[in-house]
Amino acid sequence: MFHPIPRPEELLNRELSWLDFNARVMEEAEDSTVPLLERVKFLSIVSSNWDEFFMVRVAGIWRQIDAGITQPGPDGLTPRQLLERVSSRIHAYSARQHELFHAILEPQLEAAGIRVLDPAHLDEAQGAFVLDYFERSLLPLITPLAVDTGHPFPRLGNRALVLVVELEPDEDLLDGDLPASELSFIHVPTGLASRFLRVPSNPGSHAFVMLEDVVRHHLSRLFLGYTVKSCHAIRVTRDSDLPVEEDPSEDLLKTVEEGLRDRRRGAVVRLQYEHGLSTPVLDLLIEEMELSPEDLYPCSGLTAFSDLMQLYGQLDLPHLKDMPLPPLPVPQLDQAGNIFDAISKNDILLNHPYQSFDDSVVRFVREAAEDPKVLAIKMTLYRVTANSPVAAALERAAERGKQVAAIVELRARFDEAANIAWARRLEKTGVHVVYGLPNHKIHCKACLVVRQEAGGIKRYCHLGTGNYNERTSRLYSDIGLLTARPEFGEDLSNLFNMLTGYTRPPRFHRILLAPQHLKKALKARIQREIDHARAGRTARMVLKMNALVDPQLIQMLYEASREGVKVDLIVRGTCCLRPGVPGLSENIRALSILDRFLEHARIYHFANDGEPETLLSSADLMPRNLDRRVELAFPLVNPLLAAQVMEMVELQLHDTLKGRVLGPQGEVLHRGLDPQDPPLRSQLRIYEHTLLASGVGALTQKLGPLDPDI
């Protein structure tokens, strides 16, 4: 019987599935075949992911509980039941994280000459260096915050490292005129320097002390007239989601800026604290911040493992890191004197980070800004860096008198401040800046260049699965398309007119737009495969995404499986579908790839009985993407480019080293779809293929074979 949406027992919970994904990230930190400092990096990523999870997802669960919501979600769990399961799972993962670092990684770091020292154990030269650093760089920034009848409980910053100091006043202080306090809080000033302070050491070794230990070691210089009874580090995580309740009379820019200020004042959803913190102080923290048992996370050693990324960044030790894989040139662009001439000849597929983002996408926008024949540039900006070369090129284009329109999405979570800064800066140079739509985030990735040529106006397009962000382009795997096909140009013209002027676009030729069309189009294509299977024809789908959450699409995939459609899923993160369940999803296989690059491309392939269709998209299969965001999907019209993408996807489906097969409960069953397959690491194999296609012989000789077994 067909159900409109799956029954609760047929869905995995979204939050718990995300935690399963993070456990897979931790597996990379546990993997002894991964270089040591890369394992440290992955452990840091785990903690950063948890930070965001608490600030957004756990905070959202608490808001539901506080609102008195007791109705179960699609998976059958009430908010309270979900919070209990989330808390139990993260507490177990946290214990596993501490054990991994202190019992395994820290000894291996010390064996490699990398030591994090206690200031009490420094030699004379190191001690003098640390004291000088404390007095010059830390002491001027420190503000002890006393707690007593005259000093209220202080506001502790979100994710700030704070020392809680228990004090005992000396007798002469008690007899003096100044009030005495027995408790003080110190925000460790980590904003101007790494938490890991490098200290002088012998050649070949690398010694560090942590800033909180430096402050802790010199407390006597801060609290004259007191005896320090104890000092422990704590860290609070606050509700930092940014629900923008828009008033039509308010400017969206102002609304988001006010929301950023409110974020600093969010409710506490997690307290991390060092073991040994006294019961009276812990009770005070619980009372003042209105904490529940689920919010408490005792720690040993590092209170914030996310800061290990700073240690990773300070160590230039290639033998302890991944072998460099420098971005390669795009063959069609490498020898092209003019990028527009190259695009005119044929569609060009871009595969980042294997191919250079700077020499393709950034070059596309820069040449458009400089080219006197270019009349207009229009593009979407979702996440931009503070020094974005793409945004800077738009500035130059406007200064040269070109028509420039930038759709800057101010509500890109945790990148709002950078986007606001660029929005103001672009406006000053004459760029037409649009701050998004009132009720929908603009998440699509598109750039349109309008050029005057001998034959008339010609339009050039870039569409992609990832952001116009040069930093993430080196870390995320994404696919883009450069094309001068007239139908794509007309589609993007209509898209930008809709985004800037709220015009209703005519029918699009190629692109599929959410929320209007994309979900319906995906349903139609899934149904087409179901119809092929019912007619006895071969039917298959390969869907690659970051998250699979949408219940309606999951239900259709279950229906496809029951009808005999072969479904291969590559889902990096959250997957609410239960694969491999007899009678429900036995024809669905789900793979999750975790490796050095973050798998970020969305690829939706439908076999269509020998007339295959391959779509690239900015959208994951989630209700928020399909129903509440402006997203794009677009077909690879050139069959050669579609074949290149599917060759890459097939490699990923056979990844036996970094591809985890997911089971019905979201667990990892084994590596690789078929354990009998030969060893294959898809990201390195894709890089090798890209290297050969680029024809960079000198680089091939320099790198040598990456690994004979992959």
- From the list 473, 470, 419, 460, the residue with the least C-alpha distance to 441 is 419
Helices 36-52 + 79-99 axis angle, to 10: 160
Q: How far apart are CA 460 and CA 339, in angstroms?
A: 10
End-to-end CA distance of the chain: 45
3-state DSSP assignment of residue 38: helix
**CA–CA separation, 418 vs 385, rounded Å?**
7
Q: Assign 349 to helix, strand or coil.
A: strand
What is the DSSP secondary structure assignment for residue 608, as one 8-state letter? G
Residues 352, 440, 443, 462: which is the catalytic one?
443
The residues, ordered by sequence, that sit 6+ positions from 488 with a Cβ below 8 Å of its Cβ are: 459, 461, 463, 509, 510, 511, 634
| Residue 98 among the catalytic residues | no
Helix axes 59-66, 79-99, angle to 10 degrees: 150
3-state helix, strand, coil in the chain (%, to 5): 40, 20, 35
Q: Which residues contact 360 (CB under 8 A, 6 or more apart)?
A: 330, 333, 348, 350, 480, 482
**Preceding amide of 515 cis, omega within 30:** yes
List the structure tokens of 9: 């027992």
DSSP one-letter code for 322:
P
The residues, any chain, with a CB within 8 Å of residue 227's CB and separated by 6 or more, are 167, 168, 170
Cα–Cα nearest to 435, from 380, 390, 397 = 380
- Point out which residues pair with 678 in neighbouring strands: none
Amino acid residing at 260: L
Residue 315, SS3 per DSSP = coil
CA distance 26 to 100: 9
Q: How far apart are CA 646 and CA 639, in angstroms?
A: 10
Whole-angstrom Cα distance, residue 28 to residue 22?
Answer: 10
What's the length of the chain? 710
List, in sequence order, every residue forming a beta bridge with 592; answer none if it has no partner: 660
- Helix (H), strand (E), coil (C) string for 507-531: CCCCCEEECCCHHHHHHHHHHHHHH
DSSP class of 673: S
Backbone angles phi, psi at 80, to 5 degrees: -65, -45
> What single DSSP character describes residue 577?
B
Between CA 702 and CA 675 the distance in angstroms is: 33
Contact yes or no for 86/64 (Cβ under 8 A): no
From start to end of 282-372, where are the E strands? 296-299, 348-352
Catalytically annotated residues: 443
